[in-house]
């Protein structure tokens, strides 16, 4: 399948989606949302893929936001649909049973920050910029920004960023807990791939369980979250990867995880 707005590649166990609208700084419109969903269909259908990376083509932008040219004349119903379509893509990224890394190589504003937050964690270039500037356009974040930002950095900081529309550096984003790691621009991709290769070497069943337990457990009380963890632990115990991992440990060798999710 060919795409016009993204570049989609699979290299062994690692899939990569690159937002590719350079003239619009990779801004999001319905066509982009559709193509990312189509790429994710291929990721889900390929049992060999164990990690997904999202990044922007070029060095100027990850995603500079939603496409204002698309939004300017939307009716309320059209606006709600665009918002909900974006939100559903974010939920899908969160629910993907493999790790998803945001490799932020430039501007990640508005929808760009929202996409990055829906990934499992964010690696950023020193040149990257983050923010929710929708207030400057007379609107609010629509792809989950008011909700995920508050959960990641706290309500007060989320209110400040969403109310002022301020743009912050990668260093500040790391300081407030939005970004995991910051690298020089020429090292960002290799460092992201280094982590992706580590993740790809792990078992798929246990990786899915970690992701589900943290994401779902965060929304419930501690005891309920721990019960989820016990269920996830039990599922892992039945996986071929558990036998391989523990046998490899006892035999003092590196494990070769080949277990599947079904």
Which tens digit of pLDDT belongs to each residue from 151-169? 999 999 999 999 999 999 9
Note the pTM of the prediction, 2 decimals: 0.95
pLDDT level of residue 261 (50, 70, 90 thresholds) = confident
Residues 6+ apart with CB under 8 A from 13: 48, 49, 50, 51, 200
E-state strands within 140-245: 167-169, 181-183
Task: Report CA-CA distances (Å) from 69 to 27, 28, 178.
Answer: 10, 10, 28
pLDDT in tens, 61-71: 999 999 999 99
- Kindly state the average pLDDT of the residues 225-239: 95
- What is the C-alpha to C-alpha distance for residues 86 and 28, in angstroms, rounded to an integer? 9
**Is 134 a known active-site residue?**
yes
pLDDT at 1 over 80: no
- Taking only Cα atoms into account, the Rg of the chain, rounded to an integer number of angstroms, comes to 19
The pLDDT assigned to 262 comes to 66
The pLDDT assigned to 2 comes to 87
pLDDT in tens, 106-135: 999 999 999 999 999 999 999 999 999 999
C-alpha count within 13 angstroms, C-beta hemisphere, residue 138? 3
**Is 114 a known active-site residue?**
yes
Of the candidates 57, 114, 172, 244, the residue annotated as catalytic is 114
In the chain, what are the domain boundaries?
A: 6-200, 204-250
Of the candidates 9, 44, 88, 134, the residue annotated as catalytic is 134
Fold of 6-200: 2-enoyl-CoA Hydratase; Chain A, domain 1 (3.90.226)
- What is the C-alpha to C-alpha distance for residues 256 and 13, in angstroms, rounded to an integer? 13
Which H or E element spans position 61?
A: strand 61-63
- For residue 259, the SS3 value is coil
Fold of 204-250: Lyase 2-enoyl-coa Hydratase; Chain  A, domain 2 (1.10.12)
């Amino acid at each position: 399948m060919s795409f016009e707005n993204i570049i989609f590649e699979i290299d062994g166990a690692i899939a990569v989606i690159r937002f590719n609208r350079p003239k619009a700084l990779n801004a999001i419109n319905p066509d982009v949302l559709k193509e990312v969903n189509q790429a994710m269909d291929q990721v889900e259908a390929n049992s060999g893929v164990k990690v997904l990376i999202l990044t922007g083509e070029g060095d100027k932008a990850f995603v500079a936001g939603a496409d204002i040219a698309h939004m300017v004349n939307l009716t309320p119903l059209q606006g709600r649909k665009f918002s909900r379509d974006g939100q559903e893509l974010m939920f899908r990224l969160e629910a993907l049973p493999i790790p998803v890394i945001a490799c932020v190589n430039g501007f990640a504003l508005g929808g760009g920050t929202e996409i990055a937050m829906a990934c499992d964690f964010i690696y950023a270039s020193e040149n990257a910029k983050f923010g929710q500037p929708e207030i400057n356009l007379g609107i609010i974040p629509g792809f989950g920004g008011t909700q995920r930002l508050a959960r990641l950095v706290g309500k007060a900081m989320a209110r400040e960023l969403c109310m002022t529309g301020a743009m912050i550096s990668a260093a500040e984003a790391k300081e407030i807990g939005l970004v995991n790691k910051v690298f020089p621009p020429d090292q960002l991709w290799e460092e992201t791939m280094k982590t992706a290769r580590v993740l790809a070497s792990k078992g798929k069943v246990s990786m899915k369980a970690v992701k589900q337990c943290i994401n779902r457990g965060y929304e419930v009380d501690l005891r309920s979250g721990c019960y989820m963890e016990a269920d996830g632990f039990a599922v892992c115990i039945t996986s071929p990867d558990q036998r391989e991992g523990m046998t490899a440990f006892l035999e003092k060798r590196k494990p070769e995880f080949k277990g599947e999710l079904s």
